Amino acid sequence: MYDLVGGRAAWTVLGLPTEGSVGDRRRISQFVVQPGIVPIEATIADIVADGAQPEWPVAVLGDGRVLLGALQSTARRLPSQTPVQRAMQPAPATIRPDVRIERVIEQLTNDDLDHVFVTTASGKLVGLAVRELLHV
Amino acid sequence: MSVAPVRLGWWLSSEEHDPRDLVRHARDAEVAGFETAMISDHLRPWVPSQANAAHVWTVLGAIAGATDAMEVGTGVTAMVHRSSPIAIAHAAATAAVMFEGRFFLGVGTGERLNEQAFGRRWPRAGERRERLAEGVGLIRQLCAGENVNHRGRHWAVEDLRLATLPATPPRIFVAAGGKRSAALAGEIGDGMIGVAPDGRLVDVFRSVSPRADAPVVGQLHVSIAADLDAARDDAWRWWPNGVVPPNLLGELARPEEFEAVAEAIGPAGIDKAVLCTTDAAPVIAAIDRFVGAGFDTVYLHQIGPDQARLTAMAADELFAHYASGP
């Protein structure tokens, strides 16, 4: 059950179910993986990375799982008491969940990138799109 | 799973220091605990007041003899007009022998400041990247002991095999200031050199590099003094080029031009280019930003003559801090 607030564009940007020729199957929201996460007020010792690959960036989250920053895997080399806020890269690049998978692969390839965070229009983390895990 | 610690490196600024002092600074840094150092390769200083720009390979030979275990690399050597791949391969192979495995070659697309004296046109960045890519391929072949015959778009080598060769060719790190040079670093380099904690460039480098553990090293300018005003004064006196916009760094031809641009901008912006401080906490915070952005080694460049202040801070606080983790 969903409340449609903000019109159809906002609905699809949130990655919610749609009808039509594209269909949910081809949207990146269906293909993301979960990166390691850590709250912004935490320290390096608080990184939770269950199931995440060590080379993936860690998502730094605020209230409501809003993505505020990213830490590269090298951050694990820092002393465990290091504040996350001090080491993070603020405002990493993101894409919306409704972007079609072909477009994401094309964009990552053109930009020479392995991955990109997927967030809703309001900044909530959906997951991480990893190029090597995406197949048309 | 064990995690390698953060590495701190020492920056030897050829533009600021007499070559004999550079050798002494390298030795002092090693004694203080630094395991790695980089030395700039300039034909001219950035600004006239720096008053130095020694021939880097001559200084490297002396540093090889004055240090025992510290790794040292160039930061960075360009191949535009001043140095050909043959000359660089010759020098790098000899340096690698002298350092007995402790040498690495840092390369980049260069600055007009160090090339204009040869009286030739200054190529655009894209052409300089082409020259660099072709040149690095030749350096790898020559340092590996191959007999090289090459007539390419930018360089020619005719029937050359170097005689003095290291047991293992030196690693080649490539400087990157933008996404295209970061991609090139991933393509042709064994590592990347950056000057800002920009995780986007690290992402591009890692995406292109075939080596998942390829080193990414950064440079951090610091001015550490007894009080903040003195730190700012030192930064402005010895490193006014720090305020010159990045897109001009490669384009100005003479030290006097850098000085004029810096004077026009004024000292108010020096804090953005140089970390001016009296204590270790801001230095640690700045290093953390590099590491959080994907850098595994951060080279500290203490601006001005008071180099001992950084060796003391490192020995007393920085090494202990990073030894405590992860």
DSSP characters over B116-178: GGG------HHHHHHHHHHHHHHHHHHHTT--EEEE-SS-EEEEE--SS--SSPPEEEEE-SS
Task: Determine which one of B111, B115, B134, B259 is catalytic.
Answer: B111
pLDDT tens-digit map of A74-85: 999 999 999 999
Kindly tell me if the per-residue pLDDT of B277 is higher than 80.
Answer: yes
Mean of the per-residue pLDDT values for chain B? 96
Kindly tell me if the per-residue pLDDT of B81 is higher than 80.
Answer: yes
pLDDT at residue number B304: 97
pLDDT at residue number A5: 61
pLDDT at residue number A14: 66
pLDDT at residue number A1: 61
Kindly tell me if the per-residue pLDDT of A18 is higher than 90.
Answer: no
Mean pLDDT of B71-95: 97
Task: Determine which one of B15, B16, B17, B42 is catalytic.
Answer: B42
3-state secondary structure of A18: coil
B25 is catalytic: no
What's the gap in Å between the CA of B298 and the closest CA on chain A? 12
Kindly tell me if the per-residue pLDDT of A4 is higher than 70.
Answer: no
Give residue A26's pLDDT band: very low, low, confident or very high (50, 70, 90): confident
Kindly tell me if the per-residue pLDDT of B147 is higher than 60.
Answer: yes
In degrees, rounded to 5, the angle at the alpha carbon of residue A115 between the alpha carbons of residues A112 and A116 is: 105
* Closest in A55, A79, A131 to B321, CB measured: A79
pLDDT at residue number B84: 97
* Chain B residues 171-210 with CB within 8 Å of chain A: 179, 182-183, 186, 197, 199-200, 202-204, 206-208
What's the gap in Å between the CA of B208 and the closest CA on chain A? 7
pLDDT tens-digit map of B19-68: 999 999 999 999 999 999 999 999 999 999 999 999 999 999 999 999 99
Angle, helix B85-99 to helix B56-66, in steps of 10 degrees: 10
Kindly tell me if the per-residue pLDDT of A3 is higher than 70.
Answer: no
pLDDT at residue number A49: 82
pLDDT tens-digit map of B184-226: 999 999 999 999 999 999 999 999 999 989 999 999 999 999 9
B42 is catalytic: yes
Cross-chain residue pair A77–B285, CB shorter than 8 Å: no
Angle, helix B85-99 to helix B125-143, in steps of 10 degrees: 50
pLDDT at residue number B248: 94
Cross-chain residue pair A87–B296, CB shorter than 8 Å: no
Give residue A22's pLDDT band: very low, low, confident or very high (50, 70, 90): low
pTM of the full predicted structure? Answer: 0.94
Mean pLDDT of A8-20: 67
Cross-chain residue pair B288–A82, CB shorter than 8 Å: yes
